[in-house]
Every structure is written in structure tokens, then in C-alpha cells.
Amino acid sequence: MAVKLFNTDGRAIQEFVPITQGKVGMYTCGPTVYNYAHIGNLRTYLFEDLLRRTLEHDGYSVTHVMNVTDIGHLTDDADAGEDKMVKSAREKGMSVWDLAAFYTKAFFEDLERLNIEQPTIVCRATDHIPEMIALVERLKERGLTYEAGGNVYFDISRFPDYGRMALLDRQELQSGARIEIDPQKRNPRDFVLWFTTSKFERQAMLWDSPWGRGYPGWHLECSAMSMKYLGEHIDIHCGGVDHVPVHHTNEIAQSEGATGAHWVNYWLHGEFLLLNKERMAKSSGEFLTLSALIDRGYDPLDYRYFCLGSHYRTQLQSSWEALDGARAARLNLMERIGRLAEEASPSDGAPIGPAAAAFREEFFESLANDLGMPKAMAVLWALLKADEVAPLERLTVVLEMDQVLGLGLAQTAARRDELESELLALVRSREEARAGRDWARADEIRRQLAERGITVEDTPKGSRWSRAHRM
Ligand code: AMP
Ligand code: ZN
């Protein structure tokens, strides 16, 4: 099934055609590890996981690379302010290295709790300083840089395609309409590739470079590391929408500036999670972590379910009521899966009939159509309620859908199987007890079964058991 995706570069839905048949190289901008990820950030990682799982279900082998930013990300994306890591380390009384280790661990734990597939390659910015320096040198050779006040800048006037994806207005770029903060810049949109010690006194992470001891600009790491691990021509690059005008615009300038060729075929951006109608952001101080949700009694998968209910390109308003709704729906879903697993005995295992196949097709078609989740969810529920489709067929199709949804439904069904075999073992040992005329033991087992809602009837042909039906 051809997957169609909305490409921010060109603003159009396009059929996904890989560079190499059957393979996908996918780069997703990772966290800046100066604090916990908030659930807004996690929405973006959930959308990227949905994309990856959709491609994998479609048969692609996906190499997914994610960076961990532990240097150079300033409090303002466009070179102003202080390094986020340095600021947070000072406030928390930790070294920047301990801070990075602590929040990196917390981040990947969050991904695991949300059932997000771990990236194939995770790369830390501080482990790739030589690659970044080499990239700056390459840009310098191509005449795209200048040095001023000890820093190395990218000169956007030498890169005519600057701002292509973000549709930045060329007039505005040339007139320099933005408020200027760095007098060294020739153009307000020029950005730092390499900072030297002149910028911050307290900068603890410093490396030698041809331009003096210093540290890289934030945008540089993603260009350098993605090209190292995925090559100079990449299928997919993702992030949140806030990255379109600055971070990804600058990444394109660096990578295409260095190679002189087209870099990324499909750019995908996830919309914001909102809190009280505003973007959830760490800088505003009002943000929720996954642990805060867990403390309030939610399962991380309730949040996953909540995010799956919206399309990745629409803003999503969060509220306790909405999360409660997601939790109730997910529990209902699990209950239904449990019941299907009970009803679907392997003996009636037949291949999927046309009715079940139609649900299956509609679900995966919705996903292939730019990850159309709301519709896919509606198809999932319609299938669960389709009594005309045999339970085993329904279960089989739902479990296949869950390869993409990632709600752990196979475990829910398997637990039911385990339960089933446990109960069968009890029924069997009761029969043995009866055969050995051990009535006391047989009665004790009957009591145990009754506690679990199973009634046993003794017939001349042996015992028959049934379950009290729940709604
Ligand atoms: P950061 O750790 O700040 O670099 O952000 C990590 C990812 O989360 C980036 O891809 C951002 O674009 C994304 N992001 C930031 N705020 C939000 C939000 N409120 N909703 C969804 N994604 C966000
Ligand atoms: Zn990036």
C-alpha cells in the first residue's frame, strides 16, 4: 500500500518513494537534556513512532536516528540567551555532564513507558564534535561562512535557497526586519556555527577548534550526525512545528550548503499539544511530565491513546477531562480484547474472511493517508463491535492494527490466554481429585473456580464449566 505523507517542504501530500527500495532512513530531532520532557514534547515523539511503525508495517526496514542535545541549545533558538544545559545545571547545582546523564536516562524511560520504539541509533552531540568541526570546515571551503568576534557564522546571503521550506519572505530576509541581538551578524538570520569562549564565561563544555576553544551552535549537530549515520541524502526528517522557521531551516542551509545537493526528501512536522489554549512549553513554567500523569493515576498508555485520537497536524488541547476520556476508552478497549480472547478458541481459527479483511484494509488505508488516525480509530471500534465477524478474526485483525497503535493489546490478549490455561489446569485437577474420590479437594477447587466466576457442572461425560457472563 503506497504511503502518502504531507511534506512541509512544498506543502503537499506526496506519495512516499524511498531512496533505496525497501529501506527508510529517518532522522528525528531529539531532546535537549536539561529537564524532563513534557507531555507536549512526548506528543511529537509519539507521532514519529506512529510514522515509523506505519512504515514498518508496510514492510520497510527503518533506520531511525535520534540525537540527544547536550550542548549548544540556547534559551532562544536563534542564538540569543544562555545555554539551556549550563543554566539548568547551575540552578540544580549539578555538573552539566551529570545533568545530561540524568535527563537522558529519564527521557528514554519515558519513551519505553509510552511503548515508543527505541531509535536504531541514538547519538549525543558531545560525542560528535570532530564531525561538526569538519562540517564547518566544509562550509568554509564553499564560502558560506565568516568569522566575527571569535564566532563562526553561516552567511545566508551566500545560500540563495535559504528559508525555502519555511517559506520565509525574501524581502524580510534582505531588509533584516527582525530585532537584532547580535551586532556581529551581517544579516539577522545568519546563525552561529561555532561559538568561542567569548560568549559565556560559565560555559563548562569546551573543545579546541581551528577557530579557538569553544562549542558548536545547536543546529550543527543534526546536520553532522544525520549525515554521518544516514548519508548525505535522507528519506525523512521530523520534529515539532516550532522547528520549521529556525532549526530545520538552518539544518537545510548547513547540509545542502555543504553538499550542494538536495538533502531530505520528506519533512514531517507534528503540531503542538496545548494547555489552556497555549503551547505547552518548558520556558513558560507550566508543563506536565509523564511522571506527573502517573502520579495522578494514569497509565502512560492512556496518554498514548489520547494522542492517537488526533491527527498529528492538528493542535491537541489537553485537559484532565480529555485524559479521563482516553483512560476510560482504553480500559474499555482492553476489556473487549480480553473478551474476544476468551471467545476466540483456536479451533475456530479460519483465515480472515472478506468482512474482517475490509476493516483491516480501511484501517491501514487511513494510516497510509498521511497517518489519518482519527479515522483509523473509528475503524478499530467499528470492528470491535462488528458481531457478524467471528471473534477470532476480529482479534487477529485488531492485534495486527496494534502493531502500529502500540497499545500493548497482544499482552492483554495473552494474559487472558494465560488465565485461561490456569483455569483449565484447575478444572483438570478437580477431575483428577474426583476420580481419586478426594471430594474435599474437589470441593475446594470448585470454590476457587467460583471465586473467578467459573461454574462447574458434573455430567456423566465429565465436568463442564461455564463463565458467568459480564457485560
Ligand atoms: P526540545 O527538547 O525542546 O528540543 O523539544 C523536543 C521536541 O518537542 C521538538 O521536536 C519540539 O518541536 C517538540 N515540542 C516542543 N513543544 C511542544 C508542544 N507543546 N507540543 C508538541 N511538541 C512540542
Ligand atoms: Zn535537529
The whole-number average pLDDT for the span 201-205 is: 68
One-letter amino acid of 192: V
Cβ atoms of 234 and 264 closer than 8 Å: yes
Which cell is 71 given?
550542548
* Ligand 2 center to 237 CA (angstroms): 9
363-416 pLDDT, tens digit per residue, is 999 999 999 999 999 999 999 999 999 999 999 999 999 999 999 998 888 777
**Which one of 41, 69, 99 would you pick to mutate in the ligand 1 pocket, going by the greatest count of ligand atoms within 8 A of its CB?**
41
Cβ atoms of 188 and 176 closer than 8 Å: yes
Residue 349 has pLDDT above 60, yes or no: no
82-121 pLDDT, tens digit per residue, is 778 888 888 888 888 888 999 999 999 999 999 999 999 9
Task: Band the pLDDT of 175: cuts 50, 70, 90.
Answer: low
Share of the chain above pLDDT 90, in %: 65
Average pLDDT across the chain, whole number: 89
Cβ atoms of 106 and 282 closer than 8 Å: no
Residue whose entry in the numeric block shows the C-alpha cell 478437580: 430
Atom of ligand 1 nearest to the CA of 73: 4
Determine the pLDDT at residue 196.
Answer: 85
Residue 226 has pLDDT above 50, yes or no: yes
Ligand 1 pocket at CB < 6 A: 29, 31-32, 40-41, 43-44, 239-240, 242-243, 270, 272-273, 279-281
Residue 318 has pLDDT above 50, yes or no: yes
Q: Going by CA atoms, what residue is nearest to atom 8 of ligand 1? A: 41
Task: Please give the Cα distance from 429 to 420 (Å, whole number).
Answer: 14
Q: Specify the range with the lowest mean pLDDT, choosing from 163-177, 263-277, 310-324, 369-383.
A: 163-177
Determine the pLDDT at residue 209.
Answer: 95
Determine the pLDDT at residue 287.
Answer: 81
Determine the pLDDT at residue 271.
Answer: 98
Q: Going by CA atoms, what residue is nearest to atom 9 of ligand 1? A: 240
Which cell is 417 given?
490466554
Determine the pLDDT at residue 464.
Answer: 73
Q: Which domains does the chain have, with CATH numbers?
A: 4-270 (3.40.50.620), 290-415 (1.20.120.1910), 421-467 (no CATH)
Determine the pLDDT at residue 471.
Answer: 34
